[in-house]
Amino acid sequence: MISTADTVSPPVGLDGVTASWMTSALGLEHPGVVVTTLTVGPVRHGTNTTARLLLDYNAAGHAARLPPTMYVKGAWTGRGVGDTLSEARFYQHVAPRLAEMNIPACYFASVDPVSAQAVVVMEDLLARNVVLTGVDRSLSVAQAVDLADQLARLHAVWFASPVLDTLEWARPRGTVLRFDPAEAENETGIFGTFKDWWWDKRMANGHADHLPDWLRDRLLIKQALINLYRLEQGGPRCLVHGDPHLGNLFLDVDGRPGIYDWGGRIGRWGHDVNYAVIGSLDIADRRAHERDILGHYLDRLAAYGGPELAPGEAWLSWRRQTLHGYLWVMCSPRQQPEELIALQTARFGAAAEDHDLRSALEVG
């Protein structure tokens, strides 16, 4: 699955993001536009490299109302090529179908078909005056309902569709679609977090001290994850965001939630919605409203062209998928701030008890 935008090759490094290159990139959608000056602002090197760009244009660019600032994202740190590729393909082929979702605008995205190097040029959200969510800003119930509605739109696009088999860029996320017992036995891949030394180290930080013993039991939780993959393996697939936690959400001036850091994955609907709602709501609000939010999601999924899922089966899948969120307890502080790890551990730990996760996953 390629795009005409791929005719403008991604830069091999941030120094290749020049006024000339940007002119070629933006010119595909806006013929006649010339970027007269381009200045690279703040740069962040994480899994990928992101940089804020300050731009000026000729008269055609101003007539097109192109913004004076944008963000560029590329895999220029030696890590994350696949993530940038997935995000580029998402913006090329999926985002145009999601006009009602609140996601950052994309001005250009391309992939080199040989090297798999990719680049995305997107909206500067701070210029929209958004508020980034995090430890100090959770969602209200109404905002969580809106978020579930938006995810229903995404999931309905290719729910259980054979198109999913053609998306070479959409790596499985959430429940592993083809569970490999060797990963569990050797504690590799996602099971790498179950190495006893790492488990003990993360349990020693105090984040899980308030939780019951069974949630602190390494072998029990490992078996629960194995069972999750086994029990959910035959469920329907769809395109998911894969990581819609508080660190990847934002709020518009009017309070409407949005999602960024895209890179579509093939996974289970329950992973996305459970992960987003439980992680973004205060525990009391989640306890009072999660069944209603799930019901709203199921209604909207069908309304947007997806299937009518049986409520009882959907609730069981929701309960099971709580385990993925609980695995925040093993998250490294190199990946996420300790404060966010502690908050998510508390929220998903409480949900694991409320949902009788041991029974749902047939352990203990």
CATH number where 169 lies:
3.90.1200.10
Predicted local distance difference test score (pLDDT) of residue 334: 87
To the nearest 10°, report the CA torsion of 203, 209, 210, 212: 60
The structural domain count of the chain equals 2
pLDDT tens digits for range 193-241: 999 999 999 999 999 999 999 999 999 999 999 999 999 888 889 999 9
Looking at the predicted structure, is the pLDDT value of residue 173 above 70? Answer: no
> Domain end: 102, 128, 154, which one?
128
Q: Where does a domain end: 96, 128, 160?
A: 128
H runs (alpha helix) in the chain: 19-27, 59-63, 81-93, 141-156, 181-186, 196-203, 218-232, 269-280, 283-303, 311-326, 338-354, 357-360
Shared domain for 12 and 118, answered yes or no, is yes
Q: Let me know whether 177 and 272 are in one domain.
A: yes
pLDDT band at 172 (very low <50, low <70, confident <90, very high): low
In which residue are the tokens 């307890």 written?
Answer: 329
Highest mean pLDDT among 90-94, 166-170, 234-238: 90-94
Same domain, 101 and 194: no
- Residue with the bigger pLDDT between 52 and 179: it is 52
pTM over 0.75? The answer is yes
Identify the domain containing residue 325 by its residue range: 131-360
Contact 119, 107 (CB under 8 A): no
pLDDT at residue 46, as a whole number: 78
**Top-ranked range on mean pLDDT: pick from 78-92, 126-140, 148-162:** 148-162
Please tell me whether residues 212 and 90 are part of one structural domain.
Answer: no
Q: What is the largest CA-CA distance in the chain?
A: 68
The answer to whether the beta carbons of residues 73 and 119 sit under 8 Å apart is yes
Pairing assessment for the beta strands 131-132 and 238-240 based on DSSP bridges: unpaired
Contact predicate 17/126, CB 8 Å = no
Assess whether pLDDT exceeds 90 at residue 318. yes
Residue 6 confidence (pLDDT): 85
Whole-number pLDDT of residue 145 = 98
CA pair distance 33, 318, nearest whole angstrom: 48
- The verdict on 218 and 284 lying in the same domain is yes
List the Cα angle 118/40/28 in 5-degree steps.
50
> Does residue 175 surpass a pLDDT of 50?
no
pLDDT value of position 171: 72
In this structure, the answer to whether residues 145 and 110 fall within a common structural domain is no
* Residue 265: C-alpha distances to residues 60, 272, 313, 327, 357 (Å): 37, 10, 23, 19, 25
Q: Report residue 364's pLDDT band, with 50, 70 and 90 as the boundaries.
A: confident
Q: Tell me which of 99, 128, 157 is where a domain ends.
A: 128
Residues 94 and 221 in one domain: no
Pairing of strands 238-240, 265-267: antiparallel
Confidence of residue 174 (pLDDT cuts 50, 70, 90): very low
Whether 197 and 340 map to the same domain: the answer is yes
- 25 with 116, same domain: the answer is yes
Q: How far apart are CA 318 and CA 337, in angstroms?
A: 26
Q: What is the pLDDT of residue 319?
A: 98
**Residue 79's pLDDT is what?**
60
170 or 159, higher pLDDT: 159
User: Is the pLDDT confidence value at 82 over 60?
Assistant: no
Does one domain contain both 156 and 181?
yes
Query: 40 falls in which pLDDT band (50, 70, 90)?
Result: very high
Residue whose entry in the numeric block shows the structure tokens 């229903």:
152
**Other C-beta atoms lying within 10 Å of the C-beta of residue 207:** 22
Residues 172 and 113 in one domain: no
Same domain, 47 and 77: yes
What are the tokens at 134? 């995090």
